[in-house]
Amino acid sequence: MTVLVDKNTRVIVQGITGHQGSFHAGEMLKFGTNIVAGTSPGKGGSKFQEKVPVVDSVAEAMAYEPDATMISVAAPFVKDAAFEAIDSGIKLVYILTEKVPFHDSMEIVHEAKLRGITVMGPNGPGITVPGECKIGIMPNQIFRQGDVAVASRSGTLTYEIVDHITRSGLGESAVIGLGGDPVVGLTYIDVLKLFEADERTKRIVLVGEIGGNNEELAAKYIKEHVKKPVVAYITGRSAPPGKRMGHAGAIIEKGVGTAESKIKAFEEAGVKVAEFPDDVPGLLK
């Protein structure tokens, strides 16, 4: 195992016949992900792209011994789908869907924690380990195998930074999107532990944004526990206080969680902070 997933990871897609689910399942197959089954209540018995069996429930999908699931169903049905996966004992649950009520996410995340299950998202781009496995929606062509691990709260900004890393001649060992919602399954600290333990990973990039205090907590953890070099990029420096910029995570609350406070915390922890996304590769070298 590399970071959370590898070539042998057996993946199911909940909602594989939906608009999003079918597109991304197709892209994941192209990447080389081992999708063993998909679910779509009422459509069991058919095949996705003439090869992946479609079943009616996760209980039926368990016959294909999945290690991970990607949930791509509409927001009102996410809690049900996640509970279905958790109750079946799937160890890695990735939720692609955006606009999930955070009260539902709280229940999902806490129930999963009790059972030792990892939740990624909601509202994040998933995980990519180049050369091994992709679960999620990151564009296939931006990656190259390498030793840089990336953790981020956003989607497209992650692609932007990964693209710069790849174009600079470096490559990635793992890229994880935590998700942009107020309540998500993974924290930076969870991911830093995985990166620190991963043999392929030699350097780490954290992409943060204003709002909350997760970056500050990550900085403290890095100072005390992380030996591999870390580079950070923080977005939202120019955001006027109190203005919402799309992510719930990106709200400046009375000076807490400002870009300045996060940059200061990282610099004090010995983390180099990039001013622009394209500065990241230079700081890694």
Partner 1 sequence: MQDGESLNLYEYMGKEIFRKHGIPVPEGYVVEKPADLKEYKKPVVVKSQILLGGRGKSGGIKFAKSQAELKSAAEELLGAKIRGLTVTKVLVEEMVNVKKEYYVSIALNRSERSPMLIASASGGVEIEAVPHSEIFTRKIDPLLGYSDYIGREAAKFMNLDKNLSAQFRDILAKLYKVFSEEDCELVEINPLMETAEGKIIAADAKVVMDSDSFFRHKDINVTDPEKTPLELEAQSKGYAFVELDGNIGVIANGAGLTMATLDALTLHKGKPRNFLDLGGTDNVEIVAQAFDLVLKANPKVILVNIFGGVTKGDTVANGIVEAKKRFNITKPIVVRLSGVHEEEGRKILSDAGIEAFPTMMEAIKTVVKEAGEAQ
Stretch near partner 1 under the rule CB under 8 A, chosen from 30-38, 39-47, 248-256, 264-272: 248-256
Question: How many C-beta atoms surround the C-beta of residue 140 within 10 A?
Answer: 13
217 part of the interface to partner 1, by CB under 8 A: yes
Reported in sequence order, the residue ranges of 130-242 that DSSP labels E, i.e. its strands, are: 133-136, 145-152, 172-177, 203-209, 230-235
82 part of the interface to partner 1, by CB under 8 A: no
47 part of the interface to partner 1, by CB under 8 A: no
- Cα separation of 133 and 146, whole Å? 14
Stretch near partner 1 under the rule CB under 8 A, chosen from 35-43, 53-61, 83-91, 154-162: 154-162
109 part of the interface to partner 1, by CB under 8 A: yes
CB of 194 to partner 1, least distance (A): 18
- Cα separation of 49 and 55, whole Å? 14
Compute the 3-state secondary structure of the chain and give helix, strand, coil in percent, each to the nearest 5.
35, 25, 40
Stretch near partner 1 under the rule CB under 8 A, chosen from 1-9, 39-47, 83-91, 97-105: 97-105
What DSSP element (H or E) covers 42? Answer: none
Exactly one of 19, 103, 164, 247 is catalytic; which is it? Answer: 247
38 part of the interface to partner 1, by CB under 8 A: no
Contacts of 115 (CB under 8 A, 6+ apart): 86, 89
Residue with Cβ nearer partner 1 (172 or 209): 209
- Token pair 């939202």 is at which residue? 236
Interface with partner 1: number of residues (CB under 8 A): 67
Contacts of 129 (CB under 8 A, 6+ apart): 2, 3, 4, 5, 6, 173, 174, 175
* Phi, psi of 142, rounded to the nearest 5 degrees: -90, -5
152 part of the interface to partner 1, by CB under 8 A: yes
CB of 199 to partner 1, least distance (A): 29
Q: How is residue 32 annotated by DSSP?
A: T
Catalytic, 103? Answer: no
Among 137, 175, 252, 265, binds partner 1 (CB under 8 A): 137
**Are the C-beta atoms of residues 38 and 28 closer than 8 Å to each other?**
no
Q: Is 107 helix (H, G, I), strand (E, B) or coil?
A: helix
CB of 245 to partner 1, least distance (A): 5
Among 31, 159, 195, 266, binds partner 1 (CB under 8 A): 159
Among 103, 225, 270, 282, binds partner 1 (CB under 8 A): 103
Chain residues in the site for partner 1 (CB under 8 A): 20, 23, 75-76, 98-103, 105-107, 109-111, 114, 123, 125, 137-139, 141-142, 152-160, 163, 180-184, 187, 207, 209-210, 212-214, 217, 233, 235-240, 243-250, 254, 275-278
Q: Which residue numbers are catalytic?
A: 247
